[in-house]
Structure 1
């Protein structure tokens, strides 16, 4: 199991517009392919104008396959074209849970019904 951390730095003041677009146009097509959302956040203190989202993936191969299918989805493509102008920078990290946390992460995902 791996966790993907994606951080988008947005143009100042664009977090409400970004969240609105995501909720109304991006969430459904993205969840068709990426089913293990661990969280979606906006920065409040520190580096401002950032949106952080976390996704669990069974493997790096599964991540790549699911993301390729998502990028080919017409609904997701339409959403991405609309939201992309709000994004200034993107950072992505793949995180491997510590050995003592892997089982906890798996249980958290199971409880969430993902």
Structure 2
């Protein structure tokens, strides 16, 4: 069992070989030689989570989250929390930031032992979810994920990568907040988070982006409305 666990951890470390994760350096062998800082110099990891909520439970889910989500944000930074307007029905989408997988494990352990979190919130929302999925991401190039002055709508693009594919760099007057590469989850997949001033402008910016030369081909787009507790508004 110990050998299997070590093999599993080695697999994770190979996937995030550009990240400085303490437990990777503790493993024997050549693994630690590949470690280096990420392109943004911080080595941050981002967990993208998508929950599909039963239609009848969407309103109570939002109400419970608004009341109790502070118990979760006390442990690690929340980048944004949205409800999917188009591109997914009754979905909530959220992105969390971690220094490394060691921090993520510590956060999850702390929450598992927090009876207030479990009894007030977690145990109540579990039956409300029909599906959960998560992906581990790292940023590609520059990112601007802390934007206290924004107020509008957001777009999350999922991009299937292939030979010659370029990430989009222009969508009218939309603001690109971050480009991400999948580390764990869907393979050969990138993500881009955009800001638009309004729903109508999001559609107009999308059409302009589709007519640009560097558009991505293949993937999925979500138009997102921020929840009241989302740092990105």
Report TM bin, short chain: 0.7 to 0.9
Q: Does 1:52 align with 2:57?
A: no
- Segments of structure 1 that go 5 or more residues without pairing to the other structure are none
Alpha carbon RMSD of aligned pairs, Å? 1.9
Higher relative contact order (CA 8 A, sep 6+): 1
Question: Runs of at least 4 residues of structure 1 off by over 3 A?
Answer: none
* Residue 87 (1) aligns with residue 122 (2): no
Further displaced range: 73-82 or 11-20: 11-20
3-state SS, counterpart of residue 48 of structure 1:
coil
Matched, 1:76 2:122: no
1:49-90 deviation digits (Å, cap 9, x = unpaired): 100111111111111111211121111111111111110010
**Structure-2 separation of matches of 1:32 and 1:54:** 15
Q: TM-score scaled to structure 1, two decimals?
A: 0.82
Q: Which has the larger radius of gyration?
A: 2
1:33 pairs, out of 54, 65, 75, with: 75
Q: TM-score, normalised by structure 2?
A: 0.42
* Structure 2 portions without partners, runs of 5+: 1-43, 148-230
Partner secondary structure for residue 56 of structure 1 = strand
